[in-house]
Amino acid sequence: MKKKELQDLESFADKAEQALRDAVKGVIEEHRRSGIPLAMMRHGKAMLVPPEEVGLPVVAEAHTEYQIRQQTKRPRK
């Protein structure tokens, strides 16, 4: 994979990860405003958690390093 393609792929992954973080934050804030419990997994069990018990997720800001495997060419049949 070319260096430019690799940079574009990492940039896309960063944008996707940030979009997910923003979406989770928005859902938590909306549940707080409306007072609706959030469905979450805790200790391996699904449960409804009151919104005042849920803090905003703490996410490490360190850049995640992705490894991209080179595709091998398969013989044609």
Distances from the Cα of 25 to the Cαs of 10, 39, 50, 68, in angstroms? 23, 14, 15, 29
Q: Rounded to the nearest 5°, which phi and psi values hold at 76?
A: -75, 145
**How far is the C-alpha of 15 from the C-alpha of 44, rounded, in Å?**
29
pTM of model > 0.75: no
Domain limits of the chain? 3-53
**How far is the C-alpha of 20 from the C-alpha of 69, rounded, in Å?**
25
The per-residue pLDDT string of the chain (77 residues; one tens digit each, 9 = 90 and over) reads: 666 666 777 788 888 888 998 998 888 889 889 999 999 888 889 999 898 888 766 554 545 555 555 556 666 66
